[in-house]
Amino acid sequence: MDSEWHIRRQMVEFGKRIYDKGFVAATDGNLSQRLSGDRMLITPSGFCLGEMQPTDLTIVSLAGRFLTGPHKPTSELPLHLATYRHRPDVQAVVHAHPPTANAFSFAGESLEQCVIPEVVAGFGTIPTTCYATPSSEEGAEVIRDFIRDHDGLILQRHGTLTVGADLREAYFRLEKIEHAAQITLMARILGKVIPLNEDELRRLGETSERHGWRPAGAILDACRAVDPSKG
């Protein structure tokens, strides 16, 4: 496992990247990573992700108890705790408000359709949760049915939740979701968005499996769940 100081520096670096990319505004967004001993490092409440120092970060237990740090943890702590509880495999969690992906949810539109091959092979699908008040316990509840099987979610009228084996992977998944939203929006402006057909999905599944990405069966099942006409 990386040293705690290395993780602190990474959290500051990815926080800055998220802010500089416009994936959050002002003091929005939060990041966390598991530490040894059932603890996690998490960003503090009321801080701009672009202005943090490694010593500003807070350590809490995976049961949600404050352990050390100069500031209170983010008010989205319940969302991070619930994610680690449901996903023992996950090491890092990123919550942000990327504008295009967010706009889809405000318009009642989904990004779940299987349209972009690399996204389908990387994510399966990107579901949207039910609405919950931001920073509430309810927010931790609405992810329950989705986070077990997905590495990236749209939180309705709020933002995204992405997970990974480290902060870099969780950050890249955020970047991919926003990019997918931008591509989908452009395609909609230009005309009709056409999902991958059954044959294209099957071939994508074979390639994905060959490269050791997502299993072919998982890709087909996920896309059939979104569009029952497939298969």
| Active site residues per annotation | 76
Task: Between 159 and 205, name the residue whose CB sits nearer to Zn ion.
Answer: 159
Please report, as residue ranges, which positions from 159 to 178 form the binding site for Zn ion (by CB under 5 A).
Answer: 159
Classified as helix, coil or strand, 60 is strand
Q: How far is the CB of 97 from Zn ion (least distance, A)?
A: 6
Q: How far is the CB of 115 from Zn ion (least distance, A)?
A: 26
The answer to whether the beta carbons of residues 11 and 36 sit under 8 Å apart is: no
164 contact partners, CB below 8 Å, separation of at least 6: 90, 91, 92, 94, 151, 170, 171, 172, 173
The answer to whether the beta carbons of residues 43 and 30 sit under 8 Å apart is: yes
Classified as helix, coil or strand, 164 is strand
Binding mask 142-161 vs Zn ion (x if CB under 5 A, - otherwise)? -----------------x--
Task: Between 25 and 186, name the residue whose CB sits nearer to Zn ion.
Answer: 25
Q: How far is the CB of 3 from Zn ion (least distance, A)?
A: 29
Q: Which of 26, 6, 5, 27 is nearest to 71 (CA)?
A: 27
Task: Between 92 and 114, name the residue whose CB sits nearer to Zn ion.
Answer: 92
Q: How many residues bind Zn ion (CB under 5 A)?
A: 1
Task: Between 98 and 159, name the residue whose CB sits nearer to Zn ion.
Answer: 159
Q: CA 103 to CA 33: how far, in whole Å?
A: 28
Residue type, 25: A
**Mode of pairing for the β-strands spanning 66-68 and 159-164:** unpaired
Q: Which residue ranges make up the site for Zn ion (CB under 5 A)? A: 159
